[in-house]
Structure 1
Amino acid sequence: MRKLLALLPFIFCSLAQAQDFMPPLIPWSGESENLLVDKSNPWVTPFELSDGLESPNYEETMAWLTKLANASPLISMTSPAMSEQGRIIHMMIVTKENRFSAAELASSEKPLILIQAGIHSGEIDGKDAGMMLLRDIAFGTKQNLLDEANILFIPILNPDGHERSSEYGRVNQRGPKVMGWRTNAQNLNLNRDYTKLETAGVRLIADIMNEYDPDLYIDVHVTDGADYQYDITYGFVETGGYSPEISSWLAGNYKPEVDQALQDQGHIPGPLLFAANGQDFTRGNVAFAFSPRFSHTYGDIRHTASILVENHSLKPFRQRVLGTYVFLEQSIRSLGNHFQQLQSAVNSDINQAKESIVVKYKFRDTPADTMTFLGISSSKKVSEITGAEYVQWEGKPMQQQVPTLYMDEPVNSVPIPRAYWISAEWSEVIEKVKQHGIQVETLEEPREIKLEYSRLTDFSMNPSPYEGRMRVQSMELEKEYRTLTLPAGSIRIETDQKLGELAVILMEPESVDSFFQWGYFNSVLSQTEYMERYIMEPMMEEMLEKDADLKAAFDAKKAEDENFIKNPRAVYQWFYSQTPYFDQNWKVIPVGREWF
């Protein structure tokens, strides 16, 4: 083993870089190349100095941005959060109004755009594009963008992942030369954290949304997966979401202008692309219904226009960064051009009347439509090593008609109660509710109240942890009313509020992003008191002798389940559950519903 470990550096050094195994590259040039400044420019970025091959590390990035902010009255650099390893998560505020506080920006007549880069820090295109854009606003020809909107820019949301960097950061991506890591220092994926709020970066985003109230939220990523002609793909919640009017604004006002700007600058915009068969697009493109654990769906349920950008990983870093610059610039212009319409859409979505909310979707039975897909030709090969079939991309542009498979058919909906109650002992959950910005009422003294609760009649757990938590795999529920006294410090969550839909998603156990399914109430699944058999046996005899209804129920149970009577433990448990000694809180999910 020691000899093998000693040989590993040699083995890796002798291997070709992953770039050498990538599909053939289609040559590209476009008008956006004119965005690059000469290397003699005093504000040239490290990206430009490297001919578009490299991205600066954390220290170099922050030094450059600090210098820019110190030199321009339009830019303020803030330090609103700290990563798990102690690195500052910086945010740039860009405005002409000389008002940089959250309250002033939130109340400005201009719209506010929040641009976030480096949530997956190997996918860093947004950082370098944003640096160029801020440079051109401060000292170039783009200052007029601040007539359209004020800007919040987070260059690296996940700085610990950013600094876990090497030439082996992302095997499926064409640059930069050195790439960071997808997850944070605790191996948590920030773009799975928007409901549970366990990472410093995503807690910061919740804080920013609560304090600054941005009008447009953009999260910049880079894809994995198949080859195709598109270089800048992006999407938003189009159907099956919580803000239908905002979705209409994005589709009708925003997207056409952004697509046109990208095309004019030599880029090929496309929708979010996920091959239905996991390899190529012969079986169609999947339009997933993302849950609110993801950035753009979290924005949607908060009634904030939100975009997920996925630049194509097989396109060169230089091309992707330039496309991102064009995307961000036009996003600012389109937000300013259509802000009044967006405000109307937001107000409509906040005030929409709802008696129930969908908590789970499935695919439609038939494809919604077809799209003209700008693909890359491929062939199927059989591996001589594994014997399995795989796709080999051939680098030749082609077109094909492919179906779009929408995952927007409701599977499960839940009625919306007047309010939810959480008892004070669940302080971690209460704190997360407040971090989301959900308005709560806190009890100052104990209160007796009758509420509806969900009790598990059956459940199973996932065998492996997901994002550091043990999640529920399946469950069956029944509902019951309980009268209990909630202690001081308990909270009441009114559902008639801006974030009412978010509250439902977090509280209802059927929701895939509920606090229950994330494992925050797992302790209620453990039974803690038991009855010895030498007590149970005489008690069962007396119960059957004195309670005819119980005897009838016992006989019915034996008749409907022939295995029941063969399992003494199950019989004891059944009788024990009929006694007042039984734990009445066992398997009761501690989220109460107030209906009247």
Structure 2
Amino acid sequence: MKKSLVLILFSLQLMAQNNDKYLTPYEKGNGNQTATYAETIAYFKMLDNSFETIQMVPMGLTDSGEPLHIVIFDPQKNFDFKAIHKNRAVLLLNNGIHPGEPDGIDATMMLYRDLATGKLKAPDNTVIVNIPIYNIGGALNRNSHTRANQNGPESYGFRGNARNYDLNRDFLKSDTKNSRSFAEIFQKVNPDVFIDNHVSNGADYQYTFTYIATHHQKLGGELGPYFKNDMLPAILADMKKHGTEATPYVNIHDQKPDGGFEQFMDYPRYSTGYASMFNTIGSMPETHMLKDYAPRVKVTYDYMVASIVYIEKNYKKIKQLRADNLKNYQPGMKYTLLWELDKTKVTQLEFLGYEGDYKTSEISGKPRLYYDRSKPFKKNVPYYQEYSPVKEVTIPEAYIVPKSWWNAIELLNLNGVDMQPLDRDMEIEVESYRITDYKTSSNAYEGHYPHNSTKVSVKTEKVQFHKGDFIISTKQPNVKYLLETLEPEAPDSYFNWNFFDAILQQKEYFSAYVFEDTAAKLLKDDPKLKAALEKKKQEDKAFAESGEAQLDWIYRQSVYYEKSYLQYPVYRKMK
């Protein structure tokens, strides 16, 4: 009897030691502390060493000089993604893109531990992959003050990466090594569902959990409505059943939400907008910055668990809808480049808020907004989800990119685009664009002075291409990436991100005292040109009074005017 009691006590001691071994740094703290980068990587390495169902793999470098890692959980112990995708789904989790928003870092460590130890039922048909900390440079720049509005944790990382880029604006332009390594990971993993964990800024309200969902119209086809009407409501209902209320991301700042708000349109610069280009369902949990840290970590954990449960039950449907969605992006079909919020379409959203009002600022003596937490309310507010197309383009059969534009070609290749080099010089009939107008930001934004409001003129012509130039068929899974990057009027196009700025500057011009004689001969030899000049002078008084303007106009109509100026160097081969 005594011997049996000793054995029981020894077993309990071993169990306690084993449980302590797998406590995360967050769980060992006071509930208001988050793991450092070193602690996070060490923890996942420990899980990798302890469980055959977990594998940690170093991937490409980041601007900090440290590599990104992916950590794979698969109860079948199969870490070959080509084999996985034949009959199972993949969920990709991204954490620490803004390391001052670390909730997902701590929640994911607990999630993997609980799946590996059996505390959570492991899914049979869903493989889970996570990037432990995406912004490593920001995580290493640890402090306690840069999130001035946030309630915990005690210390955390910085929003900018090692080169001060906001990585959640860099997914398309890929100025950072982080983003380029992410593209490699994304193409390797090819996730069916993607979750990027964040913490919100903005108004005050009762919710601990809000979310940005990939916009259903951007996802397109039946995939978008399925996510909006079936998948997301089911996940949120599961959370509500376990005590967590949720609302869409409150897309306002320094205003009261009573007047309503709109669904965030996640363009390709953002993580979920990037995922959408590859028909991947994406969401961005945004826990509320003013809530205590421990409840924020809990609801982030709960959202990931609810998502896994849903994917496990519906993985075949999700994978089929992703595959079917490509049918909506075929040559000759229309694709929307620009959207505008449709204020005529509004739903009433039940919202749990706090009464907001204005009082006199102790700083300025002017009115300032405040929320009264002693006055919670539950009422309907307007919610705008629908957008209307304002610019559409016909999908070409192929794009042609001259090999000289290696900066674009490099990113296309990195993002899994299939490109075929021409095997000989040849003339091809194409649609070509000339840039007719654009605006440029007067302030630096994420390392650029990006363009906007871009306009083009279109003409069909035969263009001489050369061996090694790339022809890129749109009949491929990454067609949406092609459209969003190569169409210059798209908001996050390569053109708008300054990839082709060299075409915006003339390289040759004329000396007026020489070209005067050349221009006179051009008018003498070409009566139509002379008539056009006279007509323009009649219609435009300022032009008629400017010899300089008239000489420049003749130059622009002549063979001497350089063809490359404002000529967009990507061409469209139509069906």
Same fold by TM-score greater than 0.5: yes
Q: How far did 1:383 drift?
A: 2.1
Partner of residue 119, structure 2: 141
Contact 2:116–2:122 (8 Å) recurs in 1: no
Partner of residue 40, structure 2: 61
Contact 1:240–1:289 (8 Å) recurs in 2: no
Partner of residue 31, structure 1: none
Cα distance in 2 for residues equivalent to 1:543 and 1:118: 64
Partner of residue 389, structure 1: 367
Match 1:527 to one of 479, 500, 506: 506
Partner of residue 112, structure 1: 90
Match 1:458 to one of 429, 437, 448: 437
Contact 1:288–1:407 (8 Å) recurs in 2: no
Contact 1:261–1:326 (8 Å) recurs in 2: no
Partner of residue 191, structure 1: 168
Contact 1:454–1:479 (8 Å) recurs in 2: yes
Distance 1:412 1:62, change over 3 A: same
Q: How far did 1:88 drift?
A: 2.1
Q: How far did 1:407 drift?
A: 5.3
Partner-residue secondary structure (3-state), 1:588? coil
Q: How far did 1:495 drift?
A: 1.3
Q: Which moved more, 1:265-274 or 1:43-52?
A: 265-274
Read off the aligned partner of 1:444 and give its amino acid letter. Answer: D
Mapped pair 1:488 → 2:464:
no
Mapped pair 1:401 → 2:377:
no
Contact 1:443–1:491 (8 Å) recurs in 2: yes
Distance 1:348 1:106, change over 3 A: closer
Partner of residue 271, structure 1: 248
What is the 5 A alignment of 1:334-483?
Answer: 334-352=310-328, 355-396=333-374, 397-406=376-385, 408-483=387-462
Contact 1:286–1:406 (8 Å) recurs in 2: yes
Distance 1:588 1:392, change over 3 A: same
Distance 1:388 1:349, change over 3 A: farther
Distance 1:391 1:178, change over 3 A: same
Partner of residue 548, structure 2: 569
CA RMSD of aligned residues (A): 2.0
Contact 2:202–2:250 (8 Å) recurs in 1: no
What is the 5 A alignment of 1:184-263?
Answer: 184-263=161-240
Partner-residue secondary structure (3-state), 2:236? helix
Contact 1:253–1:334 (8 Å) recurs in 2: no
Read off the aligned partner of 1:376 and give its amino acid letter. Answer: Y
Contact 1:221–1:310 (8 Å) recurs in 2: yes
Cα distance in 2 for residues equivalent to 1:45 and 1:126: 13
Cα distance in 1 for residues equivalent to 2:392 and 2:155: 46
Read off the aligned partner of 2:166 and give its amino acid letter. Answer: N
Cα distance in 2 for residues equivalent to 1:387 and 1:495: 59
Partner-residue secondary structure (3-state), 1:261? helix
Cα distance in 1 for residues equivalent to 2:414 and 2:264: 27
C-alpha offsets along residues 140-177 of structure 1, whole Å, 9 cap, x if unaligned?
A: 412x3232411101110111011111001311211111
Read off the aligned partner of 1:393 and give its amino acid letter. Answer: Y
Contact 2:125–2:312 (8 Å) recurs in 1: yes
Structure 1: unaligned runs, 5 residues or longer: 1-36
Distance 1:484 1:541, change over 3 A: same
Q: How far did 1:368 drift?
A: 1.3
Read off the aligned partner of 2:295 and give its amino acid letter. Answer: Q
Cα distance in 1 for residues equivalent to 2:369 and 2:254: 10
Mapped pair 1:586 → 2:555:
no
Cα distance in 1 for residues equivalent to 2:268 and 2:215: 14
Q: How far did 1:263 drift?
A: 2.1
Mapped pair 1:103 → 2:82:
yes
Match 2:158 to one of 155, 178, 181: 181
Partner of residue 71, structure 1: 50
Read off the aligned partner of 1:306 and give its amino acid letter. Answer: G
Cα distance in 1 for residues equivalent to 2:404 and 2:329: 33
Partner of residue 134, structure 2: 157
Cα distance in 2 for residues equivalent to 1:64 and 1:501: 38
Match 2:106 to one of 108, 123, 128: 128
TM-score, length-scaled by structure 1: 0.89
Partner of residue 304, structure 1: 280
Read off the aligned partner of 1:319 and give its amino acid letter. Answer: P
Q: How far did 1:55 drift?
A: 0.7
Cα distance in 2 for residues equivalent to 1:580 and 1:556: 21
Partner-residue secondary structure (3-state), 1:584? coil
Partner-residue secondary structure (3-state), 1:492? strand
Partner of residue 41, structure 1: 20
What is the 5 A alignment of 1:75-86?
Answer: 75-86=54-65
Cα distance in 2 for residues equivalent to 1:534 and 1:481: 36
Contact 1:158–1:201 (8 Å) recurs in 2: yes
Partner-residue secondary structure (3-state), 1:225? coil
Mapped pair 1:559 → 2:538:
yes
Partner-residue secondary structure (3-state), 2:430? strand
Read off the aligned partner of 2:100 and give its amino acid letter. Answer: G
Contact 2:329–2:395 (8 Å) recurs in 1: no
Read off the aligned partner of 1:166 and give its amino acid letter. Answer: N
Partner-residue secondary structure (3-state), 2:535? helix
Contact 1:455–1:478 (8 Å) recurs in 2: yes
Cα distance in 1 for residues equivalent to 2:469 and 2:35: 48
Contact 2:173–2:269 (8 Å) recurs in 1: yes
Read off the aligned partner of 1:551 and give its amino acid letter. Answer: K
Partner-residue secondary structure (3-state), 1:338? helix
Partner of residue 29, structure 1: none
Partner of residue 517, structure 1: 496
Contact 2:72–2:128 (8 Å) recurs in 1: yes
Q: Which moved more, 1:502-511 or 1:445-454?
A: 445-454
Q: Which moved more, 1:110-119 or 1:558-567?
A: 558-567
Read off the aligned partner of 1:410 and give its amino acid letter. Answer: P
Partner-residue secondary structure (3-state), 1:145? coil
Partner-residue secondary structure (3-state), 1:401? strand
Partner of residue 549, structure 1: 528
Q: How far did 1:539 drift?
A: 1.8
C-alpha offsets along residues 392-424 of structure 1, whole Å, 9 cap, x if unaligned?
A: 122132122211123511111111111111101
Match 1:290 to one of 260, 263, 266: 266
State how many pairs are aligned: 557
| Percent of aligned pairs sharing the same letter | 30
Q: How far did 1:378 drift?
A: 2.0
Structure 2: unaligned runs, 5 residues or longer: 1-15
Contact 1:361–1:407 (8 Å) recurs in 2: no
Q: How far did 1:117 drift?
A: 0.6
Distance 1:588 1:344, change over 3 A: same
Q: Which moved more, 1:569-578 or 1:586-595?
A: 569-578
